[in-house]
């Protein structure tokens, strides 16, 4: 019951089709924001949305250790379920944990072949087989297209839904549609691009590319107090 209610109440469903995954199999999504605005918090909510559907999520961090990422999940889950009975939410949390796997790499040591090798090891030993992959801390530099093209091949071969966090900068130049220059050269590889844009006391969740064309869907924002996505309804 809690699972169903959390899925129905989740504002993230407005980003994609309400009855399907936000991304297609083999698709790429990006969450853009300046440092400290909430990229990891939004990635974790996307992950929890998938975990509640009974699917498997691999969270790859190139910046933070496993315990810090694990704490993000605990905090976001706590805020999401604070209105429910603690006994039931604790049981739900324990049910979700086997569906999540956190993996860390040094930035300079991360490559698609290394990731593919680790994934193969996990699958062959029946340890873990993800359906969604989150990449937190990937560097979108001059060589990013080569790595992303390799990753796109991997994602399509395994029908993975892949989300990236993208760090932007205050004075960064923007291209067509408000796309920051850090992503504009590779934006063609992405199905959905979401930007977290602070304005006053609100952090707006803006869709720069992809998502449904329905103009009646509610505006979304990130609550700075809880880091949860809310809507104006």
Containing structural domain, residue 112: 2-14+25-231
Q: What is the CATH number of the domain that holds 177?
A: 3.40.50.300
Nearest to 162, CA basis, from 134, 187, 184, 183: 134
Confidence of residue 1 (pLDDT cuts 50, 70, 90): confident
- Residue 12: its pLDDT value, please? 83
Give pLDDT tens digits for 64-93: 999 999 999 999 999 999 999 999 999 999
Nearest to 213, CA basis, from 17, 62, 55: 17
Give the predicted TM-score (pTM) of the model. 0.93
11-15, 40-44, 154-158: least confidently modelled range: 11-15
Lateral strand order in the sheet of 202-209: 100-104, 57-61, 132-136, 161-167, 28-33, 192-199, 202-209, 220-222, 229-231
Residue 155 lies in a domain: yes
Residue 20 lies in a domain: no
Confidence of residue 213 (pLDDT cuts 50, 70, 90): low
- Residue 190: its pLDDT value, please? 96
Residue 67 lies in a domain: yes
> What are the angstrom distances between the C-alpha of 194 and each of 55, 110, 179?
22, 24, 10
Residue 79 CA to residue 214 CA, distance in Å, equals 29
Using the CB atoms, write b or e for 196-228: b if 16+ within 10 Å: bbbeeeebebbbbbbbeeeeebeebbbeeeebb
Report the chain's mean pLDDT, rounded to a whole number: 90
**Cβ proximity of 48 and 122 under 8 Å:** no
Residue 33 lies in a domain: yes
**pLDDT over threshold 80, residue 20:** no
51-60, 65-74, 107-116, 143-152: least confidently modelled range: 107-116
Residue 173 lies in a domain: yes
Residue 105 lies in a domain: yes
Please give the tally of structural domains in the chain: 1
Confidence of residue 169 (pLDDT cuts 50, 70, 90): confident
């Amino acid at each position: 019951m809690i699972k169903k209610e959390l899925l129905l109440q989740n504002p993230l469903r407005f980003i994609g089709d309400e009855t399907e995954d936000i991304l297609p199999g083999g698709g790429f999504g990006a969450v853009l924001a300046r440092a400290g605005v909430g990229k990891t918090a939004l990635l974790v909510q996307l992950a929890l949305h998938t975990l509640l559907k009974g699917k498997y999520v691999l969270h790859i961090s190139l910046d933070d250790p496993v315990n810090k990422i694990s704490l993000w999940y605990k905090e976001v889950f706590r805020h999401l379920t604070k209105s429910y009975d603690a006994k039931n939410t604790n049981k739900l949390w324990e049910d979700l944990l086997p569906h999540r796997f956190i993996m860390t790499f040094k930035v300079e040591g991360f490559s698609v072949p290394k990731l593919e090798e680790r994934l193969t090891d996990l699958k062959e030993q029946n340890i873990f087989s993800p359906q969604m992959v989150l990449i937190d801390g990937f560097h979108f530099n001059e060589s990013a297209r080569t790595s992303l093209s390799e990753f796109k091949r991997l994602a399509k071969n395994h029908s993975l839904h892949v989300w990236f966090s993208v760090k932007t900068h205050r004075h960064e130049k923007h291209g067509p549609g408000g796309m920051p220059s850090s992503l504009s050269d590779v934006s063609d590889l992405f199905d959905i691009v979401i930007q977290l844009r602070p304005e006053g006391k609100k952090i707006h969740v803006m869709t720069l590319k992809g998502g449904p064309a329905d103009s009646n869907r509610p505006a979304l924002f990130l609550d700075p107090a809880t880091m949860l996505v809310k809507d104006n309804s």
